[in-house]
Amino acid sequence: MKSKQQQGPIQGDRCGICVPIVGPSIEEVLSQVQKAVQAEVDLIELRPDMWMKDSHISEEVYIPTIVNLVEEVHSKYEKMPMLFTWRTLAEGGETPLSSENYCNLLQVIVDQNVVDAVDVELFAYTEKIGSIMKQAHQQGMQTVMSYHNFYKTLGIDTLHLYAEQMISAGASVIKFALMPTSSDDVFSVLQFTRELTQRYPQLPRITMSMGQLGQMTRTCGNVFGNCLTFGTLGQASAPGQIEVAVLRQLIKGKK
């Protein structure tokens, strides 16, 4: 069982670097984690929806397979903070999963209690998931409530409404990833980030404008209050991700 920091790895007063671990095989997963450790990143994101994409196993076997993989990573890299994310198809994921099994997977991961944070999609939220989030918090685990839109950037008023829903649901971190269609959309995300920081200075927030057009938000979002940026050491998990070495130099001033 992982000994967690009381506040969790995602903090509101700094910007960390996270690397998605995209698999697909256990050998690839462990190799990617090893590279992340060597790169001295702050957090890794386990993405089992990408691991399962070409696994050719049935959905009923996903959960025990994922639990074993998470345990394998934890046993070898116990000190590396981990964010667990099953990204649904509706928000850019790679593998279908029923709503029931999405909920069951979150429950099992929280029960396993070796990751430091778990992603919960805002529009997948149910009363049962709310109780899972409470259990996670009792165990010292952060909950990252997220909203992704791969088609457009919603208006700031709507995004604030979503943020309020996330906070009401008990999220300990809120996350927004939006696709821009113009430079105005990119500016809008930075403005939204700044407003979140002003309204909820103690609440860690993760924001990004995706794709090449929004790439700058991954390197300068911290100036406006973004608390975590996702970088790549190879295969990306979302459009516009930047190499970790570049992020380290731009955000942390390290080579």
Contact at 8 Å (CB) between 147 and 121?
Answer: yes
Torsion of CA 107, 110, 14, 77, to 10 degrees: -130
For residue 117, give the nearest of 31, 227, 4, 12 by alpha carbon: 4
Is 148 designated active site? yes
**Residue of 134, 148, 152, 255 marked catalytic:** 148
Q: Helix, strand, or coil here: 118?
A: strand
217/194 Cα distance (integer angstroms)? 12
For residue 20, give the nearest of 43, 52, 53, 4 by alpha carbon: 43
Q: Helix, strand, or coil here: 196?
A: helix
Is 175 designated active site? yes
DSSP H helices, the chain, are 26-38, 48-51, 59-76, 99-112, 127-138, 156-168, 183-199, 216-224, 244-247
- 183: which 2 tokens? 């430079």
CA-based Rg of the chain, rounded to a whole angstrom?
17
DSSP H helices, 52-169, are 59-76, 99-112, 127-138, 156-168
**Residue of 4, 134, 175, 255 marked catalytic:** 175
Q: Helix, strand, or coil here: 44?
A: strand
The H or E element spanning position 212 is: none
> What residues are labeled active site?
148, 175
